[in-house]
A and B are shown apart, each in its own frame.
Chain A
Amino acid sequence: MADRHHPHDHDHAEHAEIVTHEPSPEHVLLERALRELLIAKGVFPADAVRQQIDLTDSRSEAMGARLVARAWVDADFKRLLLEDAKAAATSLGVDVSNTPELVVLENTPELHHLVVCTLCSCYPKAILGIPPAWYKSREYRARAVKDPRGVLREFGTPLGSDVELRVVDSTADMRYLVLPLRPPGSEGSSESDLARLVTRDSMIGVSHPKPVVD
């Protein structure tokens, strides 16, 4: 089956290769069987799957980047984002009705957060869309809690030994989003310029935002 969905513009760096896992024919058939049976039983309407795919497609780190950039320039919004992230997201037009709880964690010069779900793959999908394959991988889930500095090194992310690295294991209903440090030298940047510096990986915690380029 041909590729249908290309990932949004993530920071590839030197890893430009994109892979696809083709499902087995048996699984393709089973998915179709379940879907048609559920529609026939009226569990959801025939176009519901298409609509949901379109909705998911519209979610990417762009919304998360908007939340971060707004928080960087607007102290009141930042306060709301840290106290009631769902309300803050709703105010920017995000539908968070299927998100159990959303919590934004602020990085400081002394504290850097790294988010993982060791038990499954919990992720703030309403804000960031579908998580990257590596986030869901068994290796990341096993390693992030025991070798967090090694994980950051592997992602090419420097972190001083004087900064506390806090691993956040999403074990319950809270979905965590990192509010990264505003890049140095960005004081003169517009909100939309700032949003372009915020990457998906910096909101998970494996990377920093992009630096300001003059």
Chain B
Amino acid sequence: MHDLGGVEPLASAPIDRREHALTQFDLNVDALMYLLSHPSRRVIRVDELRRSIESLPSDDYARLSYYEKWLMAMRDLLVEKGVLSANEIASKLIELRGRAGDVAP
């Protein structure tokens, strides 16, 4: 469902031309993608990122925002490649929720 050329009804739908102000989240995810795929680091290839995003459930692909999709794809890929473990991520999330009363980053 990523191969969208000519697909209806999207191909007959109006285009939302409004400019989007990027949130800190958007900028952080964009930066992470860039850093992880930079040739000097070679942690993740752009092709792997694309493949990971294409593997997202089609509901998510349609529903999540651009950067939310990329974040999920990055997470899946980092675990797949053994850079991070699912347990590490889960523990970290618990830790961060514990700190949720802190000022935002």
Q: Which residues of A contact B (CB under 8 A)?
A: 1, 3-7, 10, 12, 15, 17-24, 27-38, 41, 43-44, 48-49, 52-53, 56, 97-98, 100, 118-121, 130, 132-134, 136-143, 145-147, 151, 154-155, 169
Can you give 30 contacting A-B residue pairs, CB < 8 Å?
A1-B23, A5-B21, A5-B22, A12-B19, A17-B18, A19-B21, A20-B20, A21-B20, A21-B65, A22-B23, A23-B65, A24-B68, A30-B89, A31-B28, A32-B105, A33-B96, A34-B78, A37-B92, A41-B84, A52-B34, A53-B28, A119-B5, A120-B53, A137-B15, A137-B16, A139-B14, A142-B4, A143-B11, A143-B13, A143-B15
Does A28 contact B25, Cβ atoms closer than 8 Å? yes
B42 → A minimal CB distance (Å): 11
Does A53 contact B31, Cβ atoms closer than 8 Å? yes
Number of B residues, CB within 8 Å of A: 60
Taking CB atoms, residues of chain B closer than 8 Å to A10 are 19
Name the CB-closest residue of B to A156: B17
B53 → A minimal CB distance (Å): 7
7 new A-B contacts at CB < 8 Å, known A18-B19, A118-B4, A134-B15 = A5-B23, A33-B92, A119-B50, A130-B22, A130-B30, A133-B18, A146-B11
Q: Which residues of B contact A (CB under 8 A)?
A: 2-8, 10-32, 34-39, 41, 43, 46, 50, 53, 62, 65-68, 71, 74-75, 78, 83-84, 88-89, 92-93, 96-97, 104-105
Taking CB atoms, residues of chain A closer than 8 Å to B4 are 118-119, 138, 141-142
Does A31 contact B71, Cβ atoms closer than 8 Å? yes
Given A34-B74, A98-B34, A130-B30: A142 and B10 interface contact (C-beta under 8 Å): yes
Taking CB atoms, residues of chain B closer than 8 Å to A133 are 16, 18-20, 66
A141 → B minimal CB distance (Å): 4
Query: In the complex, what distance in Å separates the CA atom of A44 from the CA atom of B93?
Result: 20
Given B28, B34, B38, B46, which contacts A35 in the complex, CB threshold below 8 Å? B28
Taking CB atoms, residues of chain A closer than 8 Å to B46 are 100
Does B5 contact A145, Cβ atoms closer than 8 Å? yes
Given A7, A44, A146, which contacts B19 in the complex, CB threshold below 8 Å? A7
Given A30-B75, A43-B83: A138 and B10 interface contact (C-beta under 8 Å): yes
B76 → A minimal CB distance (Å): 11
Given A34-B89, A142-B6, A145-B5: A20 and B21 interface contact (C-beta under 8 Å): yes
User: Which residue, A100, A141, A154, has most C-beta atoms of chain B within 10 A?
Assistant: A141
Query: In the complex, what distance in Å separates the CA atom of A196 from the CA atom of B26?
Result: 28
Given B10, B19, B22, B89, which contacts A37 in the complex, CB threshold below 8 Å? B89
Query: In the complex, what distance in Å separates the CA atom of A136 from the CA atom of B64?
Result: 13
Taking CB atoms, residues of chain A closer than 8 Å to B18 are 15, 17-19, 133-134
